[in-house]
Structure 1
């Protein structure tokens, strides 16, 4: 629930969640501007209490309807005590802060794919998960991004946005180009970050989008990073959004 009278308290709580421990944002790419991708991307913070010990998680996500956010399921593992959703203006988080609850978790069908020489991995190595969060109040002033309708037609060029953390506190929203290097019949995609960039901790769940004559649409979200040296990697596994949504709002 967005409580106007407690806006400062909610914003401070969100910043505390996002800045609780050191992390990393997209390494490379560019600070987000004001396009459709930047307007719909969110920073997501959840608080869970496994085994009587508080645990903080920080991820990214994307607004796909006025009251729904799509992210990676591992970002909301367990039974979160709460979830805070923050939007951005350019690269910086802004008020108001929204709260949300987990509406559904999904394990998309990975499909079939031959071992890929570019990454040296097989489907057994992959982690693919999605989750939908329902905001307790619809968002105004932000345009949701529609969902891809055909998971078999992988775009030649993709873009990613993530609000991972920085070592000095809250991460700035950044974007980077992606080049698909392998995919399956169900839309699971492995993509390489352009320009030698890397995707890092806190970028999980961030939207991967493409653009056609109708505008920008969500192909999927960052489900995992392929890396020999944590916490960043140059290859990302994209969980296909078309397996979750159908009907109105798809393209």
Structure 2
């Protein structure tokens, strides 16, 4: 679908944001390659106030169906005027850019913390939200990543992708390993970034995936970062993807 009028300005702004340099997204990790995670991860830009043209929110997300993107709900707060979705080739954004609208928002059940959790973690302090965006047309040449179906079995190893903003500037798409350190009965997970890396502003909504014999699947998305010094942190709260499409969404 052609993008006209204000949409063209938003498109130009989104591409400028995602191609600015110098660039790093996740602090640490590595530049994305061509695997299933990198192919399905997207950058997301929205505009929420028509009178403030080119004021954008910036997040990440993941393609979960040919016309559906999963992200964090706070990335699309305020009933945005429009949303644009950018895919990547390796670490760099590429065209075409897709228009999207909010299809559903979810407030997942946080569950109860498992016995292995750190004693100072409080469920009430955790931020958990999800949203599904519907693209105006299906994506071709990109394979969606399926959602986890069993939230009770937290994988031992996870991977994250995001195209956010780090201390050094606007980022390229990067990936990093995550190690779960605590979880709840519904799959809400707190994970540490491997190798001393950090997840940053704009990485919100980015996919957290695991791999088994059936292939790669989305365990959840980055819903919040635990940090003592913004905009980056070494611990991420993962909102469980298994609760999406299971009911309870606000449509």
Q: Does 1:128 align with 2:148?
A: no
* Alignment size in residue pairs: 242
**How far, CA to CA, are the matches of 1:160 and 1:43 in structure 2?**
14
Q: Say if 1:63 and 1:145, in contact at 8 Å, map to a contact too.
A: yes
| 1:114 to 1:145, Cα distance in 2 relative to 1, 3 A | closer
**How far, CA to CA, are the matches of 1:167 and 1:238 in structure 2?**
22
Higher mean Cα deviation, 125-134 or 165-174?
165-174
Structure 1: which 5+ runs fail to align? none
**How far, CA to CA, are the matches of 2:37 and 2:220 in structure 1?**
13
| 1:194 to 1:167, Cα distance in 2 relative to 1, 3 A | closer
**How far, CA to CA, are the matches of 1:169 and 1:199 in structure 2?**
13
Residue of structure 2 in register with 1:117 after alignment? 118
The SS at the match of 1:74 is helix
**How far, CA to CA, are the matches of 1:23 and 1:187 in structure 2?**
33
Residue of structure 2 in register with 1:37 after alignment? 37
Q: 1:213: how far off?
A: 0.6
Residue of structure 1 in register with 2:99 after alignment? 99
The SS at the match of 2:105 is strand
Q: Say if 1:147 and 1:245, in contact at 8 Å, map to a contact too.
A: no
The SS at the match of 2:56 is strand
Listed as ranges, the matches of 1:135-214 within 5 Å are 135-165=135-165, 170-214=170-214
**1:110-152 Cα distance to aligned partner (Å, 9 max, x none):** 001169438x431111000000000000000000000100011
**1:26-62 Cα distance to aligned partner (Å, 9 max, x none):** 1000000000000000000000018x55542000000
**How far, CA to CA, are the matches of 1:143 and 1:47 in structure 2?**
27
Structure 2: which 5+ runs fail to align? none
**How far, CA to CA, are the matches of 1:73 and 1:197 in structure 2?**
24
| 1:166 to 1:178, Cα distance in 2 relative to 1, 3 A | closer
**How far, CA to CA, are the matches of 2:147 and 2:134 in structure 1?**
16
**How far, CA to CA, are the matches of 2:62 and 2:92 in structure 1?**
16
Using structure 1 for the length normalisation, give the TM-score: 0.88
**How far, CA to CA, are the matches of 2:141 and 2:241 in structure 1?**
23
The SS at the match of 1:147 is coil
Q: Say if 2:23 and 2:172, in contact at 8 Å, map to a contact too.
A: no
| 1:114 to 1:241, Cα distance in 2 relative to 1, 3 A | closer
**How far, CA to CA, are the matches of 2:230 and 2:136 in structure 1?**
35
Q: Say if 1:18 and 1:45, in contact at 8 Å, map to a contact too.
A: no
Residue of structure 1 in register with 2:57 after alignment? 57
